[in-house]
Amino acid sequence: MSLLSPLVPLLRVYYAGLAVILHQLRRRLRSRCPPTPVFPTQNGKVAIVTGGAKGIGYHTVKHLARLGMHVIIAGNSEREGQEAVRKIKEETLTGKVEFLYCDLASMKSIRQFVQQFRAKNCPLHVLVNNAGVMLVPERQTEDGFEEHFGLNYLGHFLLTNLLLDTLKQSGTHSHSARIVTVSSATHYVGKLHLDDLQSRCSYSPHGAYAQSKLALVLFTYRLQHLLTANGSHVTANVVDPGVVNTELYKHVFWVVKVVKWMTAWLFFKTPEEGASTTIYAAVSPEMEGVGGCYLYNEKRTKSADIAYDEELQRRLWTESCKMVGISDESSRAP
């Protein structure tokens, strides 16, 4: 047996990841990200942004605060969260930014966060599901879920469902409340293993990450179907920020790190550019009342074919409800 044989499966995983990055780079060259347009002021509105202390989330929070929103950063680091609040207040000259602790890898922490938010007795007009991990080593959340699936997907699934009543109460016929979920082009190569959502049979960092991002797209489409069926003034959309130069790449293979270091200045979006489509989905008048879309560079585009499988959407939703311990209200929907 060749000395390189044990490395073959690992190399296949990272070559697949590299292929996705190169695909995004080609898209980046063909369509440079336009400058963020000027949006209407959002005075009196409230937003929650998960992972808002760094990267894309930080610039999302800063822009929404500049528009006059009261923005709550939901994050798992008190120090980073408070530092982000301080910097954004200095840069935007607004006091409408605050931090609340929320560890998306803990169902208990998510429920505590929602209780704290409800205690404020304020509306919720925008929920941005932004936080995530990428290509982490095999490990579990405190609830026993594989970390990509548990944090990236299940954490946001539970958070969104617990905040749905507040979002429904806050949306109106002319101004819908909005749910914006950040996925990735990696979802195009993702496969949903309903019989092994925790990747226990065969763990691959890239496969687990891609599955979590595909799950977010399926979740968004199913959620929009349910919201429409219930006549709710809430929309749900999913965004692809593109290839963005953030800390998410700290777990990638060293070859990818070298490529990133050499090319990021030319091909990768800055975190501020990466936030542009999220901001567009959250506040653009063009997206008023529009849901169930996959957005890239502030334009509607087609997601992976498998994401439109309504039966798969339903099955994932039902299984997710069981996993996080909430009732499946969708069973009464068409």
CB burial of residue 95 (10 Å; 0-12, 13-18, 19+): exposed
Answer with the residue of higher pLDDT: 161 or 258.
161
Q: How far apart are alpha carbons 32 and 267 in whole angstroms?
A: 9
CA angle 289, 294, 297 (to 5 degrees): 100
pLDDT over threshold 60, residue 114? yes
Domains annotated on the chain, with CATH: 6-30+40-324 (3.40.50.720)
pLDDT range class, residue 266, cuts 50, 70, 90: very low
Q: How far apart are alpha carbons 283 and 269 in whole angstroms?
A: 21
Mean pLDDT of 251-259: 46
| pTM of the full structure | 0.85
Residues 6+ apart with CB under 8 A from 53: 73, 75, 77, 80, 81, 83, 84, 99
Mean pLDDT of 221-226: 98
pLDDT over threshold 60, residue 7? no
From 44-53, 108-117, 184-193, 258-267, the region with the lowest mean pLDDT: 258-267
pLDDT over threshold 80, residue 331? no
Confirm if 216 and 271 have CB atoms less than 8 A apart.
no
pLDDT number for residue 174: 96
pLDDT over threshold 60, residue 261? no
DSSP for residue 143: T
Q: Are strands 294-296 and 299-301 parallel, antiparallel or unpaired?
A: antiparallel
Mean pLDDT of 206-214: 95
pLDDT number for residue 94: 80
**Which residue in 14, 58, 153, 209 is the catalytic one?**
209
- Write the pLDDT tens digit of every residue in 268-278: 678 889 999 99
**CA nearest 131: which of 205, 167, 183?**
183
Beta strand spans in the chain (E): 46-50, 70-75, 97-101, 126-129, 177-182, 234-240, 294-296, 299-301
188 is catalytic: no
pLDDT number for residue 329: 76
**CA nearest 303: which of 178, 214, 212?**
214
pLDDT number for residue 264: 45
pLDDT number for residue 197: 93
